[in-house]
Structure 1
Amino acid sequence: MLVSLLRRRKSLRNIRGPPVSSWLLGHEYVLANQAEVGDTEFKWFRDYGTVFRSAGCCGEDILMVSDAEALHHILNTGGYRYPKTKDAIRFIKQISGRGLTWAQGAVHQRHKKALSPAFSESQLRMLLPLFQRYSDKLALRWRERFVDSQIIDISHWLPKVTLDVLGESSFNFQFGSLDDKSSDLRVALQTMFASSQRPSKFTTLLRAWKRACSDSLVEYLEGIYVTEEDIRFKAYVDAAKGAARDLLEEVNSNFGADVEGKKDMLNMLLRSKAAEDSKKRLDDDEVLSQVSTMIFAGFEITACTLTWIIYELSRNLEDQERLRAEIDAVWVQRGNDVAFTSNDYDSMPFLNACIKEGLRLHPGVQFTTREADIDDVVPLAQPVISTSGEVLKKIPVMKGQRVHIAIAAYNRSPSVWGPDADQWRPSRCLDSSSGSKKQQSMIGVFGNVYVLSILSSSLNWRFAVIEMQAILVCLLTQFEFQLPPGGLDIQTVPLRSMNAPMLRGKLDQGLQMPLVVKRRVRADA
């Protein structure tokens, strides 16, 4: 163990990185307590290039990566050679159980085979009317409860609609969020990250210490010392698995020829539980964990992304009008009262450019961490300068090396997205000359990094995109959005790995995005 650690430290010694003031805390405490997402690491990437050496707790070296070719190698070419880190797997299991995002290697493939039919293109097309119905319900609630041109905190309402959509579309579960209904599961969801921002030095060290311990030791000690965060996470998992158990029992009692062809999530889980093929079979706990995983991953980050997109459209009214004109044109072409199809949404280039730009500029997931499973050499699209002045076009890494995938930093890299990478400009997604298309194609539009910007599982990314399309089109058809008088001072706060919008000076009030919402009547209506 000691020899392996010393080898890893030696392997990155020629990689430049920022100075560290605390051997004990490294840069981990500083990064976790940034006032604004990216304040620290964005500057470091500008200073040292697309790859640099960061300090973990107790002298650990971490490879920080935002280079396009390196990301492609680690996320695509490397495949399962760069699995999630042990502490990341523990955390995922703690907040959602042994579901898809927890699984690794062959187990992950088994989970994907069991669940993939529920996210097929044909299945998602069948769900589109449900997406549209809940979008209309959100618009109706606004019209019922608010006067015209009133300030509405959209960050309070968008999670309601995405949660209701997810509950009914995937599990036939009625959260009733838009109807202000309460449930143990909904309460647990709303409070599970209540105090997770800005971890203390003790919490930072505790997380690092757990990383070095065996699973059995961590489980033993967590049984003795339980944090408030542990209690909230357990409350959510217990509530989600309890709801899943009730739902599965209800569906199982009616499981027969009349539902044999259904490919919704619940029926797919029942089939996987009863599958004779061991490559598709899930055990009881894995089945229950899929529900808690999909609920956790499938509503909050999607709602947060929508919040950021509408915020940017409120700051850039010409883009909002351009998008609305595009929607109206398709509406007229469809014959006004005819509902949009998924092909209609996909035929709106500026709509999808706005979604892509929102995901790029405000990724729901700030970072992810992997660990090299073998000794490897990581290629670079942008060479970096070593500590001795040598130009490095590749970085050797040792087995066990932690690699920090800086999604937010890649998404703002000038070498990939152009000199205005820090600015909202959805037309860049339509401009073939914008930035480095070669480097963008390494990751893919609505591909790996875009998917990671939405959630931690690539299986249901298309679900999230169609849902965002439906909600944005509905809201922009019926409302206009503007900044309140005097503007907004929004702070992007790191909430665990999510980028949360809050009002500067009012962080104790949680997520907020108050915008002026004006009712709209179309001229062709």
Structure 2
Amino acid sequence: MLYSILQGLLITTTSWVLWRIIRPYVFKSTLRNIPGPSPSSFWRGNLPELEDRDGWGFQDAIDKAGQSVVRLTGMFHKQCLYVFDPKALHHIVLKDQDIYQRSPWSIASVRLTFGPGVLGVLGDSHRRQRKMLNPVFSGNHMRHMTPLFYKTAYRLCKAISNQLEAPDGAEVDMLDWMGRTALEIVGQGGLGYSFDPLVANTHNSFGEALKAFLPTAGQCLNYRMLAHHLSKLGPASLRGKIVELLPDPNLRALKNIVDVMHMRSIEILEDKRRALREGDAAVEEQIGEGKDIMSILLRANMSTSEEDKLSEEELIAQMSTLVFAATDTTSNALSRTLDLLAKHPDVQEKLRTELLEAGQGQDISYDQLVDLPYLDAVCRETLRLYPPASFTSRETQKDAVMPLSEPIQGVDGTMISEIVIPKKTMVIVGIRSCNRNRRIWGDDALEWKPERWLDSLPSAVKEAKVPGVYANLMTFLGGGNSCIGFKFSQLEMKVMLTVLLSSFKFMPSGKDIHWNLAGVSYPTIGREGRKPAMPLHVQHLRG
């Protein structure tokens, strides 16, 4: 039976690939009048350049071309659009968000790895899940979680201090520590679970699986278009057997990682249910003291109406989804901020002065943290110029008309003020490109200048009406698919910077730090480096 299923899958896949190759030559795309670069690959079009780990130059060339909508070529010569025009983005992420949805293969990939959590569903299921999750990501709840963030940050400081034996400090891989700390913060604040005691040479199966997920998944990108077909092949046990029979070791490794995350999520969920059954005393004995996101979500789920309840499968899926989404993005954004502060000691010192004056030897409260102007400016400017994710994609569910803020010139010389987009067209949202748009941010848009946020922003920023949920930026997207945890991420960044800059000075290590383009950008030592790392020279503040 398994052989017949594999044979059927092979026939279906081959037929699908052949049709994708032939189709562009049978049906000429209506997008051909939109200017764009020539494809570099017959099979993958412009995707190798767009997704290359050193693909910043390709994105920069698009930005400099002067038009905020560009035609690209995707898989098998399928025409797609790269968009960072603010009016067009308003339609994509807000007004017409039900038309511009994540593609079936994208949804299937998430469901196969994390299950039907908030990132793995669409439509009513997605809205129902967000309705349940919104209260636990509110500013009021973040206020209650602030002490937990501080406790973890102080544990990190102790760990770093143990590496600084020499009076003049030492080289420390801050990316590694930021990743471990972000995982521990989301573990405690999200799941009420400790992944990492933040001491040397510790291991946790769930934590190790999460750290290995992105690098392993990156080796399986060629299979992403097939995820939609694989997701339809019966229960998870059958799909697992099919993957084990495939010759690619990366796919098998990815399956093992997913299995570990799933099993540990089930165990953690059962521990939480047991504590809730035993009463408040048992809940308060847990790591999150019942204030973590999953404990609150479980209580809310028990008391809500049947039609709004999350199923067992959905609850389990939220756990892996939450931890994955909150780890690499925030830790790499923090690493980037420390890298920039090390290269700009004047900014670092100015920020440290603000933090020390605000704290005066005590923890800065949540309400103070969100109001500190220079801390906020540093975070906003880093997330503007260097968003962790450079772009994301959508697929039109029916023919659509996309208006533009400014007309663009077509290949035939005509001026285009709106674009008719056929059904099933991939639309790439240029997050980084929108954040760096000179027409919006001015001639200094490519400079890292936290001071720009201390004065009145250019009128063009307000007039552009960028539809992002945060600070006139697309970093956390907008609309019903905006990042639900952006306040969690902001609080984590601000607490970590407060504690670290009040304890240490950060300087360049002298090694070449190269930032690589990926689903979440990451640093390596040198352009050819393969292992993610970001060494900085760290000194005690009063060493």
Same fold (TM > 0.5) = yes
**CA contact 1:383–1:393 (8 Å) conserved in 2:** yes
Q: 8 Å contact 2:112–2:231 — kept in the other structure?
A: no
Task: Report the equivalent of 1:106.
Answer: 124
What is the alpha-carbon distance in structure 1 between the residues aligned to residue 27 and residue 175 of structure 2? 43
Query: 2:70 — aligned with what?
Result: 52
User: 1:110–1:279: 8 Å Cα contact kept in structure 2?
Assistant: no
Looking at structure 2, the residues matched to 212 and 97 of structure 1 have their Cα atoms a distance apart, in angstroms, of 13
- Among 394, 398, 401, the alignment partner of 1:377 is 401
| SS of residue in 2 equivalent to 1:450 | coil
Greater CA drift, 217-226 or 102-111:
217-226
Report the counterpart of residue 44 of structure 2 in structure 1: 25
Count how many residue pairs are aligned between Structure 1 and Structure 2.
506
CA distance in 2, matches of 1:329, 1:113: 39
TM-score under structure 1 normalisation?
A: 0.88
Return the alpha-carbon distance in structure 1 between the equivalents of residues 482 and 257 of structure 2.
Answer: 19
Per the TM alignment, residue 438 of structure 1 is displaced from its structure 2 partner at its CA by: 2.6
The 5 Å alignment of 1:332-351 reads: 336-351=360-375
Query: Which segment is superposed worse, 186-195 or 270-279?
Result: 270-279
**Partner of residue 428, structure 1:** 452
Deviation sequence 1:127-178 (CA, Å, 0-9, x none) = 1011111111111111122234211110111111111111111211111240
Q: Distance in 1 between matches of 2:265 and 2:242?
A: 29
Q: SS of 1:270's equivalent?
A: helix
Say which SS state the counterpart of residue 179 (structure 1) adopts: coil
Match of 1:235 among 241, 256, 277: 256
**Post-superposition shift, 1:506?**
4.5
Correspondence list, 1:352-431, <5 A: 352-431=376-455
For residue 475 of structure 1, what is the aligned residue in structure 2?
500
> Mapping of 1:450-469 within 5 angstroms?
450-452=475-477, 458-469=483-494
Q: For residues 303-314 of structure 1, what are the structure 2 equivalents within 5 Å? A: 303-314=331-342
Structure 1 residue 494 and structure 2 residue 496: aligned?
no
Tell me what 1:443 maps to: 467
Inter-CA distance 341–51: structure 2 relative to 1 (3 Å threshold): same
Amino acid in structure 1 at the alignment position of 2:102: K
Secondary structure (helix, strand or coil) at the match of 2:113 reads helix
1:432 is displaced (CA, Å) by 2.3
Determine the C-alpha separation between the residues in 2 that align with 1:70 and 1:211: 29
* Alignment equivalent of 1:134, drawn from 133, 152, 157: 152
Aligned to 2:293: 265
Q: Which amino acid is the alignment partner of residue 458 of structure 1?
A: C
Maintained 8 Å contact 2:210/2:261: no
Partner Cα distance (1:211, 1:15) in 2: 30
Q: Distance in 1 between matches of 2:254 and 2:482?
A: 19
**Could you tell me how far 1:53 is from its partner in structure 2?**
0.6
Amino acid at match of 1:389: G
1:174 paired residue number? 194
Quote the RMSD (CA, aligned, Å): 2.9
Whether the aligned pair in 1 keeps the contact of 2:163 and 2:172 (CA below 8 Å) is no
Pairwise CA distance, 1:226 = 5.8
Q: Higher mean Cα deviation, 403-412 or 8-17? A: 8-17
Partner of 2:534: 513
3-state SS of paired residue (1:133): helix
- Give the corresponding residue for 2:184: 164
CA distance in 2, matches of 1:229, 1:314: 37
- Alpha carbons 2:157, 2:500 under 8 Å: kept: yes
Counterpart AA for 2:203:
S
The unaligned stretches of length 5 or more in structure 2 are 1-18
Is the counterpart of residue 290 in structure 1 residue 318 in structure 2? yes
Contact 2:153–2:181 at 8 Å: present in 1 too?
yes
Tell me the residue number matched to 2:5: none
Change beyond 3 A, Cα 1:88–1:324: same
Runs of 5+ consecutive residues of structure 1 not aligned to the other structure: none
Q: Pick closer, same or farther for the CA change 1:234–1:62 going to 2, 3 Å.
A: same
What does the per-residue CA deviation read over 1:15-39, in whole Å, with 9 as the maximum and x for residues that have no partner? 11111243322111232224x2421
In the TM superposition, residue 192 of structure 1 has moved relative to its aligned partner by 2.1
Provide the C-alpha distance between the structure 2 equivalents of 1:226 and 1:511, rounded to a whole number of angstroms.
27
> 1:125 is matched with which residue?
143
Q: Do the aligned partners of residues 489 and 422 (structure 1) sit closer, same or farther apart at CA in structure 2, a change above 3 Å counting?
A: farther
Aligned pair partner of 1:301 in 315, 322, 329:
329
- Displacement of 1:309: 0.6
Q: TM-score, normalization: structure 2?
A: 0.86
The answer (yes or no) to whether the contact 2:467–2:477 under 8 Å persists in 1 is: no
Cα distance, 1:274 vs structure 2 = 4.0
Q: 3-state DSSP class of the match of 1:438? A: helix
Question: Partners of 1:21 and 1:116 in 2: how far apart?
Answer: 43
Other-structure match for 2:84: 66
SS in 2 for 1:140: helix
